[in-house]
A and B are shown apart, each in its own frame.
Chain A
Amino acid sequence: MAVDTKVSIGAWQLANPIMTASGTFGYGEEFQPYVDLTSLGAIVVKGISLHPRPGNAPPRVVETASGMLNAIGLQNVGVERFITEKMAMLRGLGVPVVVNILGDSLEDYRELAARLAVIDDIAAIEVNISCPNVKKGGVAFGTDAAMAARVTEAVCAVTRKPVIIKLSPNVTDVTEIARAVEAAGATAVSLINTLIGMAIDIKTGRPKLANIMGGLSGPAIKPVALRMVYQVARAVKIPVIGIGGISCLADVVEFMMAGATAVQIGTANFINPALSGALVSEFADYLEKSGRQSATELIGSVRV
């Protein structure tokens, strides 16, 4: 097999474009029975904040047509315990690890990035400026181009790791935010985070989520995600990582044709925990059968 599945995010080279999305793959170890983790391009771990967070009250998830709403509220152990308790295990997994970070303030983001900058074996930082499920921070940075740029600058100033900015789809023009973070020094952008949604139980007359609103994910959002990836890939020169309802090989290929350099598998991990690993081999087969030498030939190859 002569096909080359490698792709690059700045100076960071991935063995293949298949990654797992933050908040959908635990810390990787839960999926070890089903996926040869070492075969994946990378895993992105659940968002880490400066201090531990309990997350939102239940119910936190609800199924919707071809999708689901979640309002987990970034439950996590905080950066200190992440470094002391989780990093040793993550190092042992044999897969590049991307750490997703989230703050309430510029200072939070800077401090998180600084703490992680000196930790070996973290391949990249993904900056969540787009979580819809926490009261302050998060999405506030992701919906304002100037604020998004300031977060990007703050993070890039303290780390030499690749910095991926995760963009919110809950904006009027996603390319404006993408261009702003590119100018501020981002290595790459990943998109989309979830779309804000809602569901009501008509028997009780109450929202189905305790948080009232939540983030919509799954196949239902794929066309929106694909459109945004396409738009952003044409607006910036940095690599774009495609996320949003990817559930099969054809979805991976579609996102890459639209301009994604790599993709993240999210909600689909919940339904088929073996999916990400299967996609790695299916992707290599696809390249070969479609007569391509390299994964990079696919990127942005859509004919319009």
Chain B
Amino acid sequence: MTEAVSKVELHYLETGTIIANKRVGPDTWCMTVEAPKITAAAQPGQFVMVAVTQGATDPLLRRPLSIHEINKSRLGLLYRVVGKGTTLMAALPENQPISLLGPLGKGFQIKSSPHHCLVGGGLGVAPLLYLGQEIRQQRPDEQISILLGARTRSELLLLEQYEAVAPVSLATDDGSAGQHGFVTELLARKVRGKATIYTCGPTPMMQGVAALARQRNWPCQVSLEAVMACGMGACLGCTVERAGFADNDQKYVHVCKDGPVFEAGEIWL
């Protein structure tokens, strides 16, 4: 029952095995899961729905988490412990089975560009590592820059992983690492000429990045987060408003199926 049918994207309900589940920053953890089917089908920017409990009804729903990294048949999930579900997730031991649904959604489109610029803030850095690795592999001759922002130095996560992909520039709100200020300012100063922007992070940051991209005529893809129940287009819960559509049935798109990655001009951030 795992072979998907034509009209729907290829995704699987797979019981993976937890290989590692480690703290990597304040309140932030990284879980590595052996999941051969999902990793074989995944694209950068896609996500998985993780069942943090098995058979229990509270928390009830799966958690949507973007794919941070793919290493052969293993995938990495970067998550912040914010509530009951992620607290339970952080306590899961190695070798335990874990149910994943994925890979889900529409990921980043990688097209030829003289300069691929990945802009992440906070936990929004998660999907950019896998994206950077994939761009590096698909387009080895094209320039990649990674710009990461956080409130403070300790919240800049797993920097060495990003540095292994491309040159990394940093910005922190308190100036404890890199430029003192927003990552948007870094982008405005560092990137000149033609570029393609990929961004994920807090909404105000993505609004700033998208506005700058519009001014400079850079194509810009944004990766959104939303509360969702199913992750596969059935519940219609994870709505985002389309730009320039009136109050009709075209007004909303859904983060799980139409996204999570959108062209910046396609939606109201």
Q: Do A54 and B230 have beta carbons less than 8 Å apart?
A: no
Q: Does B215 contact A (CB under 8 A)?
A: no
A53 contact from B3, B57, B240, B249, Cβ within 8 A = B249
Q: List chain B residues, Cβ under 8 A from A72.
A: 235-237
Complex-state Cα separation, A191 to B183, whole angstroms: 52
| A274 to B101 alpha-carbon distance, docked (Å) | 11
A33 and B60 contacting across the interface, CB-CB below 8 Å: no
A300 at the interface (CB under 8 A from B): no
1/0 per residue, CB under 8 A from A, across B215-241: the answer is: 000000000001111101111111111
> Are the C-beta atoms of A270 and B248 separated by less than 8 Å?
no
**B160 within 8 A of partner (CB):** no
Determine if A59 and B57 form an interchain contact, defined as CB atoms under 8 angstroms apart.
no
Give the distance to chain A from B111, nearest Cβ to Cβ, in Å: 28
Residue contact A58 to B238, C-beta cutoff 8 Å: yes
Q: Which of B6-14, B65-73, B165-173 contacts A (4 or more CB under 8 A)?
A: B6-14
B230-A273 in contact (CB<8A): yes
Q: Count how many chain B residues have C-beta atoms less than 8 Å from C-beta atoms of the other chain.
A: 40
- Is B60 a contact of A273 with CB atoms below 8 Å? no
A-B contact count (CB 8 A): 124
Chain A residues with Cβ under 8 A from B11's Cβ?
Answer: 33
CB of B187, distance to nearest CB on chain A (Å): 28
Enumerate chain A residues within 8 angstroms of B235, measured Cβ to Cβ.
23-24, 61, 70, 72, 270
Judged by a CB distance under 8 angstroms, whether A60 is at the interface is: yes
| Nearest neighbor of B2 in chain A, beta-carbon distance | A33
- State whether the Cβ of A197 lies closer than 8 Å to any Cβ in chain B: no
Q: Contacts A63-B60, A270-B234, A271-B60; is A75 near B2 (CB within 8 Å)?
A: no
Say if the beta carbon of A269 comes within 8 Å of chain B: yes
Total residues of chain A contacting the partner, CB 8 A: 47
Complex Cα–Cα for A228 and B248 (A): 36
- Chain B residues whose CB sits within 8 angstroms of the CB of A25 once the complex forms: 234
Which chain A residues numbered 260 to 283 have a C-beta less than 8 Å away from chain B?
A: 267, 269-274, 277
A76 touches which one: B8, B13, B249 (CB < 8 A)? B249
Q: How far is the CA of A76 from the CA of B229 in the complex (A)?
A: 18
Contact B4 A32 (CB under 8 A): yes
Distance in angstroms from B81 CB to nearest chain A CB is 16
Which residues of chain B are within 8 angstroms of A61 by Cβ–Cβ distance?
227-229, 235, 237-238
B214 part of interface (Cβ distance < 8 Å): no
Q: Across the interface, name the chain B residue whose C-beta is closest to A35.
A: B1
Q: State whether A247 touches B57 (Cβ < 8 A).
A: yes
Quick check: B101 and A273 within 8 Å, CB to CB?
Answer: yes
Q: Does A219 contact B (CB under 8 A)?
A: yes
> How does the 8 Å CB contact mask read for A21-34 relative to B, with 1 for contact and 0 for none?
00111100111111
Are A33 and B239 touching (Cβ within 8 A)?
no
Given A218-B57, A269-B230, A270-B62, 13 extra CB contacts under 8 A: A26-B233, A29-B5, A33-B12, A55-B251, A57-B239, A58-B252, A60-B236, A60-B239, A72-B235, A75-B252, A219-B60, A247-B57, A270-B230
9 closest Cβ contacts across the A-B interface? A52-B249, A61-B237, A54-B251, A270-B230, A33-B4, A66-B57, A26-B234, A58-B239, A219-B57
B: which residues have CB within 8 A of A? 1-5, 7-8, 10-13, 51, 57-62, 101, 226-230, 232-241, 247-252
Binding site for B on A (CB under 8 A): 23-26, 29-36, 46, 52-55, 57-63, 65-68, 70, 72, 75-78, 89, 218-220, 247, 267, 269-274, 277
> What are some 7 contacts across the A-B interface (CB < 8 A)?
A23-B235, A33-B3, A33-B4, A33-B8, A63-B59, A270-B229, A272-B13
